Copies of this chain bind each other. A is one copy, B any other.
Amino acid sequence: MKGKEQWHKRIFGMRKNLYIGGDKIGRDDERFGPVLDVVNLTYDLAEDPQYKDLMTATSHLSGETINRFCHVHQSVDDLHKKQDMTRMICQKVGGCVRRCMGVDAINAMYTVSYEADKDRPGETAYHENFKKWLARFQEEDMMGCCAQTDVKGDRTKRPHQQPDPDSYVHVVERRSDGIVVRGCKLHISEGAIADEILVVPTRALVENDADYAVSFAVPGDWEGVKQLVTIHNFRKRDHFPKGFDAGSTDSYVVFDDVFVPWDRVFLCGEYKHGGILALLFALFHRHSYSGCKPALGDLMLGICALAANVNGIGRAKHVTDKYADLIKVTELGYAAGYTASAMAKPEMYIPGLGMRPYGPGNYIPNSIYCNVGRCLTGESVLHELEILADITGGMPATFPYEGEFINPEVKDLACKYTTRCQDISPESQAQLWRYIGDVAVSSKSGCAMFGAIHGGGSPRMEKIGITSQYDIETCKQLVRDIAGMKD
């Protein structure tokens, strides 16, 4: 495993193609500091003996020890560990780990490229090319991101029916040495600081959508790639630093007639597999949420319990009831992921066909359990925020600025009148309220809320996933038998 220094070296050396607020910047812009700190941890912990078992895996390609974020899951145990690794890191950074999109895309593309090659035997070499690409990715310990969501335009129309054909990323030219693609992927987490951008389709496709069935990987600064970046950092602290200051970024990744050589193309025209790839990335990613959402729940519980202590209501029945609500969502979300892992197989639900063997043998988590878990945790986001607001009262919204706690003229008053309990020092009470301000009253918290709801697919998408795959007919038959219905 190469460490974070190599990664920094690679991305700091990239071409400046990041647009932000009218400027064009490099990956070494200081505003990237907080998000780099998050991802750095995924490198550092892999070298920490305490976490070696969770953080690393043995590559099925090379037999080498690799960072688990570069691994294709080979067993139920791999999936259990991925879930637990994700929860553990998210607990440490206080939010999203920013590197799971890469591992989830790798697993999806590895699987689908294998199956897509069967469409026109001998004509395509998607899977072999992907394995070569992956070998280097693993060896260099690269940071990947996944570019899935398209602009979509008119949502009642399919890709090929859009008024603007570029509403979905598509192939505009097929050449002997590669393809040219155009379009834009949006909401792309960490496109800005990734080594590689992994592109997958965003929805089910029909034959006329064949040009939209395209998957490939390119470096983040590839010719023709332009990223419109938003950076989500917490308010900067001048005097009272946090223990960990996490950041995040999102990009509109524009493919402005980008040439991609064939050895970086892993799907091109196989429209059925395009839809499956969209589903499969979502599936792996929803499995990741069975790790991160429980971590967010753990943190929310800790926040609420501390705020309740400060407010002197830590043992009130209506407050502990709310703890139970938080734990319930957290552990149901975890149990769903656990069960999805335990029932994983090299199989996948294919619309119209049901479960069938899929891919070259790597493990795919159970879809129903991934979906019910993610759906629950997505739908609970606002309720959790309500619990927090209920316990804190208005404190996080109007807490005085740091400066007042430094200004000799009012610092004693600021301290005196923000102190509520005797068991915790005034300084720690203030740090807690500042942190809750970050978590609930900041533009980054607003952003995180949208991500917690929609990331990996909105609850509505999970419901579609659930009802389209569930065996409702058998349930109807149970009822027919008991009710005494003949038909």
Contact = CB atoms under 8 A, between A and B. Distances in A.
Interface of A: 19-24, 91-94, 149, 151-156, 163-164, 166, 184, 186-187, 226, 228, 230, 235, 240-244, 250, 252, 254, 256, 298-299, 301-303, 305-306, 311-313, 316-318, 320-321, 323-325, 327-328, 331-332, 334-336, 338-340, 342, 368-369, 372-373, 375-376, 381-383, 385-386, 389-390, 393-394, 396-404, 406-407, 409-410, 413-414, 416-422, 424-425, 427-428, 431-432, 434-435, 440-443, 445-447, 449-451, 453-454, 458-460, 462-464, 466-467, 470, 472, 474-487
Contacts of A449: 385, 389, 441
A446 B389 CA distance: 10
B483 A368 contact: no
A303 to B, nearest CB: 5
10 contacts: A164-B419, A254-B417, A306-B480, A317-B318, A320-B467, A324-B375, A324-B467, A335-B338, A335-B340, A441-B449
B155 A422 contact: no
Copies in the complex: 4
A479 B303 contact: yes
A397 B442 CA distance: 12
B368 A166 contact: no
Closest 10 CB pairs between A and B?
Answer: A22-B403, A441-B446, A324-B463, A302-B475, A435-B483, A302-B479, A397-B450, A184-B417, A335-B339, A21-B403
A458 B385 contact: no
Contacts of A313: 155
A150 B336 CA distance: 35
A316 B324 CA distance: 18
Nearest to A152: B420
A421 B154 CA distance: 6
B186 A312 contact: no
A431 B483 contact: yes
A389 B184 contact: no
A369 B60 CA distance: 34
Contact of A151 (B339, B420, B445): B420
Nearest to A343: B338
A419 to B, nearest CB: 7
B479 A397 contact: no
Contacts of A459: 390
Residue of A235, A410, A445 ringed by the most chain B CB atoms within 10 A? A410
A482 B243 contact: yes
Contact of A153 (B226, B393, B420, B483): B420
Contacts of A92: 478, 481-482
Contacts of A472: 301-302, 305, 323
Contacts of A382: 382-383, 385-386, 389
Contact of A335 (B163, B335, B420, B425): B335
B389 A460 contact: no
Given A24-B409, A407-B22, A482 B397 contact: no
A24 B403 CA distance: 10
From A24, A235, A335, A336, name the one whose CB has the most chain B CB atoms within 10 angstroms: A335
Contacts of A481: 92, 243-244
Nearest to A441: B446
A417 B186 contact: yes
A420 to B, nearest CB: 6
Contact of A299 (B324, B340, B442, B479): B479
Contacts of A447: 397-398, 441
A475 B305 contact: yes
Contacts of A228: 400-401, 404, 410, 413-414
Contacts of A22: 401-404, 406-407
B446 A442 contact: yes
